[in-house]
A and B are shown apart, each in its own frame.
Chain A
Amino acid sequence: MKLNFTIPENDMSLAGIASTQLKKKLLQIGIPTDVVKKAVISLYEAEINMVIHGGGGDIDIEITPEEIILVLSDRGPGIADIDLAMQEGYSTASDDIREMGFGAGMGLPNIKKNSDYFHIDSKPDMGTTVTIKVKI
C-alpha cells in the first residue's frame, strides 16, 4: 500500500505529522514494534531535514509485506558534500533552528543507524532525494 504527504516549507509545527501517521498505520497493520520504531525514527529525522534544509517537499511511502520504503524529495539547495553531511555532529542548520533543539548533526547518521538501506541523491541546486528502506 502507498501513502503520500506534502510537507510545507519552514513550518516546524508540522514536522512529524507524516511519521505520526505512519506509526499509527504500521501498528494497525500489525508490523512488529521494533520495525515500526526504526521506520518512524528514520522518517521523522528525514522529515525534519526536509523542513529545515529542503524547503518542504513530497514524501512517498510504500509498504509491502517485506519492507517499508520511504522516498523524500525536496526542491532545496541540495547537499554539496554528502560524506561530510553524513558525519555525526556536522550540520549547516542556522542558529534559529539550533535554538529549537534541532541541527545537532545527528539526523542523517541516525537514519543510517535505523534503516536497512539508505541512499541520498543530491546535487547543489538540484534538490535532494532520500530513499530509506526498513525490512519487516
Chain B
Amino acid sequence: MCRSKYLHSVTLDENLCRGCTNCISRCPTEAIRVRDGKAYIIKERCIDCGECIRSCPSHAKKALSDPLDIIKRFDYRVALPAPSFYGQFRDEIGADRVLSALLEIGFDDVYEVARAADIVSMATQELIRSGEYPKPLISSSCPAVVKLIQVRFPGLIEHVIKIQSPMEVAARVVKKYIHKDKKNVGVFFISPCPAKVSVVKSPLGYEMSCVDGVIAVKDIYPLVRTIAKKIVKPARLSTASGTGIGWAHSDGESDSVNTERSLSVDGIHQVINVLEQIENEDMKDIDFIEAMACPGGCVGGTLSIENPFIARSRVKRIVRKNRNPVISRDIFNRPGFDISWTKEIYSRPIMKLDEDIRVAMQMMEELDRINEELPGLDCGSCGAPTCRALAEDIVRGHADKTDCIFLLKDEIKKVARQMAQLEKRMPSALKTGEGRGGNA
C-alpha cells in the first residue's frame, strides 16, 4: 500500500474559531466537535465537502492548497483550468484572455479541463450504451460525493463510475501525449474545490495522480484578472467545447452523457437524500446520476471567489456562444488509451461502534438509552452536532452526560436540593425544642 494515512485538505484556523456551533450541524458526516471553545475536525470522518467552510461565519475553516510558487519547481509548466474558472470573470474578459493571462504569469502551456471532460463523457456514454452496469450509475467526478458514498452509503460503491475525473484525464493527456517529449513537466490544476487537493495527494481509484499541484482559484484570481484586463487582442486559446465547459455547473455533466434517463443533484444534503432513494432501489429507471457536493455544481466550490449563481450564468453565456466542436475522438480512440480506474475503492465504515458485532450491539443499546435521556433539542451546546451524536461520543468514551447543559442543570438542581435538605437537618445529638431544661 502506498499511503496509509488518509489526507484531507479542510483545516481550522484556531485563532479565528470562536467555538460557535454553525459548522457542526452542517457537516454531513458528523465530523466536527467543539472542544474547549474551538472546533475540532475528526480527520477520518472528513470528506472534504467544504460545507463547514461555507457555514463558518468567522472564516476559520480553510482548505489547504498549493501556492503559485510551486510551479517554479518544474521546467515546463502546464495549467489545467477547471471549467468553472471562466465563470469567475466578467463577460468582457472571456476564456481566451483568461488563458492568455495564465501564460503570462508563468505557465508555458494551458490545457482546458473542459476538453478532458469531453473525453470522460465519451467513456461514460460508451458505458451506458453497454448496458452492463448496476442502475443507476453514479458519477465519480465529485470526490466529496465518492467519499460520502464510502462512508455513509457503502452499498452504492458498485454504482460509482470507475472512470478518472476530467482533472486527472487532462493531466494524463498532457504528460503522456501532448508534452511527452519534454523533461520535468509540471501540471497544475486551477481548482474551485478543496476535495481535489486531497484527491491528488491520496487518489481514489488509482495509485498516483499525474497532477503535480493544485492551485486555488481564489489565490490565482487577482493576478489573472489584473493581467487579463490589459490584454487587447488575445490569441484564440480556448478550444474546449460548450459541452465540456458546461461541466462547470450542475446539469452540465448529465447533459453531456446523452441519455434522457439522467438526473442531476447538487448540494451535499440533497445528494444524501437522492442516495438514500437509490439505496431503497427507487431509482432503477435512471441510467446516470450527476451528484455534486457544492450548490450549483463546481461553480459553488469553496475555493472560488464569485457567487455560484452569478458564475453559473456567466458560464452558460460562454457555452451558448461557444462554436468549438466536441473534442475529436482521436485521443480517446488511441490504442492503449485507458482512463478506467486501476484500483478498487472500499467502504470506510468510520461510523462503526466496534469490530465485534455483539459489543457494537451492546453499545448501540446503551447509546439509544442515553439518547432517550437527552433533551433532543440538538442545540449543539455540548459541542456535538446532535443529541444522538453526543450519546455516541459518550458510549465511545469521548464525552460525559454532564456535557449536556440540560442534564447538568438537572444535576445541579438535584445537588442543590440535597444541600438544602442537609442544611435543614439538625445534628442528631440535638433535638429541636429539646434544650437543657428538658420538657417544660
Chain A interface (Cβ < 8 Å from any Cβ of B): 1, 16, 19-20, 23-25, 27-31, 33-34, 36-37, 40-41, 44, 63, 65, 101, 110, 136
Contacts and interface: CB of A to CB of B under 8 A. Distances in A.
Given A41-B280, A44-B280, A27 B154 contact: yes
Contacts of B155: 33-34, 36-37, 40
B352 interface: yes
Contacts, number: 60
Main secondary structure of the interface of A (DSSP, over half): helix
Interface stretch (B90-98, B103-111, B322-330, B356-364): B356-364
Query: Which of A1, A16, A28, A65 has the largest count of B CB atoms less than 10 A from its CB?
Result: A28
Contacts of B356: 30
B353 interface: yes
B361 A29 contact: yes
B365 interface: yes
Given A37-B155, A41-B279, A41-B280, 19 more contacts: A1-B364, A16-B276, A24-B351, A27-B154, A27-B351, A28-B351, A28-B353, A28-B360, A28-B364, A28-B392, A29-B352, A30-B352, A31-B357, A33-B347, A41-B281, A44-B281, A65-B361, A101-B282, A110-B281
A110 B351 CA distance: 28
B357 A27 contact: no
A29 B359 CA distance: 8
Q: Among B154, B280, B368, find the residue whose CB has the most chain A CB atoms closer than 10 A.
A: B280
B358 A65 contact: yes
Contacts of B349: 27, 30
29 contacts: A16-B276, A16-B280, A19-B280, A23-B279, A25-B364, A27-B154, A27-B351, A28-B351, A28-B352, A28-B353, A28-B360, A28-B392, A29-B352, A29-B357, A29-B360, A30-B353, A31-B357, A33-B154, A33-B155, A34-B155, A36-B155, A37-B279, A40-B279, A41-B280, A41-B281, A44-B280, A63-B361, A65-B361, A110-B281
B319 to A, nearest CB: 32
B69 interface: no
Interface residues of B, number: 24
Contacts of A36: 155
B347 A1 contact: no
Interface string B352-382: 1111111011001100100000000000000
A110 B284 CA distance: 13
Given A29-B360, A110-B281, A20 B352 contact: no
Contacts of A31: 357
B405 to A, nearest CB: 26
Contacts of A29: 352-353, 357, 360-361, 364
B136 to A, nearest CB: 14
B338 to A, nearest CB: 28
Contacts of A65: 357-358, 361
Nearest to A102: B282
B276 A20 contact: yes
Nearest to A15: B280
Contacts of B364: 1, 25, 28-29
A40 B280 contact: yes
B359 to A, nearest CB: 9
Interface string B336-353: 000000000001010111
Nearest to A20: B276
A23 B275 CA distance: 13
Contacts of B281: 41, 44, 110
Contacts of A101: 282
Interface string B279-290: 111100000000
Interface in B243-280: 276, 279-280
A30 B363 CA distance: 12
